[in-house]
Amino acid sequence: MQDAKKIVIIGGGACGPKAAARARRLDPNAIITIVQDEAFVSYAACGLPYFVSGMVRARTELIVRNAAAFKKINNVDVLLETRVDRIDRASHEIYTTNLKDGAAGVLKYDKLVISTGANPVMPPVEGINLKGIYSLKRVPDAEAVIAMAKASAMKKAVIVGAGLIGMEMAEALVARGMEVTVVEALDRVLATILDEEISDVTAKHVAGKGVNLKLGQKIVSFSGTDGHVSSATTDRETLQCDLVVVAIGVRPDTKLAKEAGLSIGTFGDIEVNEYMQTSDPDIYAGGDCVANVNIVTGQKNFVPMGSTANKHGHVIANHIYGVKERFPGIVGTACVKVFDFNVGRVGIGEKQAKGLGFNVTTALVSDTDKPEYYVGNQEITIKLIVDNQTRRILGGQGVGRGDVIKRIDVLATAITMGMTVDMLANLDLAYAPPYNNALDILHHTANLVINKIEGRTQTIKTAELKEKLDRNDDFTLLDVRTHLEADETSLEKPQTVLIPQLAVTNSINKLDKNKEHVILCLSGQRAYQICCVLKGAGFKNAKFVEGGLICWCDDVTGTPLI
């Protein structure tokens, strides 16, 4: 009998424990060890914002499997609070230090898995080391933030970064009763994943929840009192605060890999092949310390996700045992709950697609997620990005109170398989009133893209409409909502003419066929219909506002639509 295989795994987040569990299922005899520098192993780091918000009441709820259970169920040894100092590839050994007692150790490996994850990026500004400034990588960070949020004197929080974690933390700290300001260097929220239209609708909702958004502002320093942060200064203003959460992104933790001479990629990631093997075939890497091929572009992207990390772990263990499961890459799927809104994206955005040389057509549609007669229906907005030449779907994004994420998952599947917009328009999605409209918003959005590609439909985006209004262009803004709706919420611009949808046919002679008409309603659906009516009646220049007032992110008179 061969000697038992020695598998050593550095890092106990998502990829490492998954690799360990899978390896055990493939080999009852292997000696498997996870080395983890924290006091916990295999916990759901993605759940930390919900621990901070108070939904998750105890940190133990976040632990998928603790060290004792790993031993009992999987016969895997977990060395907690143990730091790995060095990998010796020649001798196939790693050198460790026990963080509790300082004891040095050595572990021999046949196969090594590096799943060291990623470290939060901290801005190198004055005062960054003051107390009260946290990132949110680990359980103790979250516990410290909770303690501060609970302290009665601590009322003002500044979150640096309006990315996924920043948005989740804004919600969590508002839930804790704090006054929250978010500072973001880019001029939009979730700017690295969302196109402008979807990002702006999200920001409108966040602002409506009382969060102060400071967009396009850079943190330049923090000041403190008695060593504790008391203000954050941006390039434009100074914000009083009792607590700061830094969430401007993460960077692969590749110190050990670099020092061991493994190949490092352009994101500072550990380079791996499709079996997650590094440049040393006895060493694998997975999780947030590697980048992934984006199936849409064929290029590597750094999109750290717990879901991807788990898949990496599975692929790694399989490859160690000769089961050739290939990791096919990602499609950049990301989602986040932002207060009452569900937000997601998949594939590539409009700007990225254009940057890669694609000639694209996009469409933005707002609709309910199920029939209006079915209780609990909610609005959602979907944007599609389609390559004109192949008609392949390149990306999709969504936002709203309704079930956005189902549509994102459908698009993730479609994009992975290279689906065209034409196939999407007739895709056999599940239909029953509790779940969907007879035609799903994805069908409508696909049809709008097709109509635009083929020149049958002219549209305008809300941002373009705002520019036209600001320039005081000579055009008619035809609002086709009801009087009741217009009384509640209105743009009240001099160009506005209100004619409810059902009255347009009878009033059409009052309008000037040769003038530009921009047609607006709540979601864009009535406006689309009326646009067709006007064009049928010989109007030369009629277009409707995609996504309607739901996607209008500037001021309104009356009740804002958030």
Report the site for a copy of itself in 57-86 (rule: CB under 8 A).
61-62, 69, 72-75
Nearer to a copy of itself, 17 or 127 (CB): 17
Strand pairing report for 118-120 and 360-368: unpaired
The least CB distance from residue 138 to a copy of itself, in Å, is 16
Q: Comparing C-alpha atoms, which of 134, 86, 122, 136 is closest to residue 107?
A: 86
DSSP, residue by residue, 431-483: --TTT--SS-HHHHHHHHHHHHHTT---EE-HHHHHHHHHHT-S-EEEE-S-H
Q: Is 4 in the site for a copy of itself (CB under 8 A)?
A: no
How wide is the angle at C-alpha 357 spanned by C-alphas 274 and 421, nearest 5°? Answer: 80
* CB of 275 closer than 8 Å to CB of 315: yes
Report phi then psi at 413, rounded to 5. -70, -45
Nearest approach in angstroms of CB 371 to a copy of itself is 6
Alpha-carbon distance 193 to 207, whole Å?
19
Give the residue, chosen from 6, 337, 466, 513, that forms a contact with a copy of itself under the rule CB under 8 A: 337
Provide the token pair at 5. 């295989």
Out of 336, 348, 363, 449, the only residue in the binding site for a copy of itself (CB under 8 A) is 336
CA distance linking residue 25 with residue 7, whole number of Å: 13
Report the site for a copy of itself in 374-393 (rule: CB under 8 A): 374-375
Told to check if 431 binds a copy of itself by CB under 8 A, we report yes
Residues 272-331 touching a copy of itself, rule: CB under 8 A, are: 295, 305-311, 314-315, 323, 325-331
Q: Does the protein bind a copy of itself through residue 533 (CB under 8 A)?
A: yes
What's the distance, CA 98 to chain centroid? Answer: 36
Q: Does 484 bind a copy of itself (CB under 8 A)?
A: no
Q: Which of 246, 410, 519, 527 touches a copy of itself by CB under 8 A?
A: 410
- Of the pair 366, 377, the CB lying nearest a copy of itself is at 377
Closer CB to a copy of itself, residue 234 or residue 310? 310
Contact residues for 267 (Cβ-Cβ < 8 A; gap 6+): 252, 291, 300, 302
One residue of 6, 83, 513, 535 binding a copy of itself per CB under 8 A? 535
CB nearer to a copy of itself: give 92 or 370. 370
CA 198 and chain centroid, separation: 12
Q: Is 434 in the site for a copy of itself (CB under 8 A)?
A: yes
Specify the residue, 241 or 348, whose C-beta has the smaller distance to a copy of itself.
348
The residue (of 219 and 520) whose beta carbon lies closer to a copy of itself is: 520
416 near a copy of itself, rule: CB under 8 A: yes
Binding of residue 250 to a copy of itself (CB under 8 A): no
Which of 427, 463, 498, 556 contacts a copy of itself by CB under 8 A? 427
Query: Can you tell me which of 200, 403, 479, 485 binds a copy of itself, judged by CB under 8 A?
Result: 403
What is the footprint of a copy of itself within residues 23-52 (CB under 8 A)? 24-26, 28-29, 44, 46-47, 50
b/e sequence 507-525, b meaning 16+ C-beta within 10 Å: ebeebeeeebbbbbbbbbb
Radius of gyration (C-alpha) of the chain in whole angstroms? 27
Does residue 346 interact with a copy of itself by CB under 8 A? yes
What string marks each residue from 492 to 531 as x (binds a copy of itself by CB under 8 A) or -?
---------xxxxxx----------------------xx-
CA distance from start to end of the chain: 68
Instruction: Name the token pair of 344.
Output: 């997601």
Which among 95-103, 187-195, 422-430, 511-519 is the span making contact with a copy of itself, rule CB under 8 A?
422-430
Map tokens 């992934």 to a residue: 292
CB distance 169 to 136 below 8 Å: yes
Q: Residue 433 interacts with a copy of itself (CB under 8 A)? A: yes
Give phi and psi for 351, each to the nearest 5: -65, -45
| Residues designated catalytic | 46
Residue 54 lies near a copy of itself (rule: CB under 8 A): no
